[in-house]
Amino acid sequence: MDRIDVTIQDIEEAVPVVQKVARRTPTIPLEGPEGEVWLKLENLQRLGVFKIRGAWNRISRLTQEERRRGVTTLSSGNHGRAVAWSARRLGLRCVIRVPEGAAPQKLAAIRAEAAEVIPIPRSELVRVHEDETWRAWPETYLPPFAHPLMIAGNGTAGLEIAEDVTSAKTVLVPVGGGGLATGIAIAVKARLPSAKVIGVQPEGAASLPTALKTGRGFHLERPETIADGIGVGLMLPTMVELLKRNLDGCLLVSDEEIRAAMRSLALDAKVVAEPAGAASFAGWSRHHETLESPVVAVVSGGNVDPALLSAVLK
């Protein structure tokens, strides 16, 4: 897999592209017993998640030949829907390959964007990324995180954070494959050199700590977490290199802490967050005494199953 390089200039160039479809989401303060934390509300983004930033920045710059072939990706959730939405707006054929057993409501959301859905065995998921078996697919492949244009598009959220909280010292970002955390880290550190950007992962899908320690890609055989949006359990070597260069560490949170964070966000801030989106707030709640303030927690998405949200709020 080729080396990935992303600069602040790449992110700045992405701004006018991303602004054509993405909202400039607010960053709001929340005061509670543990102190004050700022929330970057990407749950209010178009489609309810940050993914449209990177997906549009990538898909809108395809060559004519790439467009002719149509587009595809591997995702059962937010990334797949963002790619399908973008493809539909550009009139492109779109195929979303999804892991077998994906949630029916997520597949329905993807199909609503006129995309074809093709299930693939879960045993093939790692091979798609690590062995690049996607190269055999006829469509143009749009990876969920390991692409410079995807990362640069995501990084536009970091520029907004730096504009909204100019005194920020710590930014907490949920980490799945690392595309959001890398983009935000590059942007924030270019604008706020003294700030630290720290990734947050669920304990049951903690691929990042090992990857950062060894400097190599890492794959968890059976990640288990309520936060399926960041529960991939996979760190690609190219992303590890980027994350080691740009992140200042990683915090882990339990599923119970994520549930508590979802509840607190809903009741105290009136913010609906999916488990992955609540992970950064959970990280602040657990580790706030060791984090330099002001702290910004990125609420990366709000596409939560109503039944789960109801159970969390009981």
So what's the pLDDT on residue 232? 83
Q: What CATH number should be reported for the domain whose range is 53-141?
A: 3.40.50.1100
**In Å, how far are 67, 126, 128, 226 from 257, measured between CA atoms?**
43, 28, 32, 11
Where residue 97 falls (left for φ over 0; alpha for ψ -120 to 50; beta otherwise) is: beta
Closest CA to 73 of 43, 99, 50, 49: 99
29-65 confidence digits (pLDDT tens): 999 778 899 999 999 999 999 999 999 999 999 999 9
So what's the pLDDT on residue 1? 55
Compare 251 and 218 and report the one with higher pLDDT: 251
249-300 confidence digits (pLDDT tens): 999 999 999 999 999 999 999 999 999 999 999 999 999 999 999 999 999 9
Structure tokens that stand for 122 in this block: 């879960």
| Model confidence, pTM | 0.95
Q: Which residue spans of the chain are classified as CATH 3.40.50.1100?
A: 8-49+148-313, 53-141
d(CA 300, CA 302): 7
CATH topology of domain 8-49+148-313: Rossmann fold (3.40.50)
Q: Give the whole-number percent of the chain exceeding pLDDT 70.
A: 99
Structure tokens that stand for 41 in this block: 């509300």
Mean pLDDT of 103-115: 87
118-151 confidence digits (pLDDT tens): 988 877 777 777 767 888 888 999 998 899 999 9
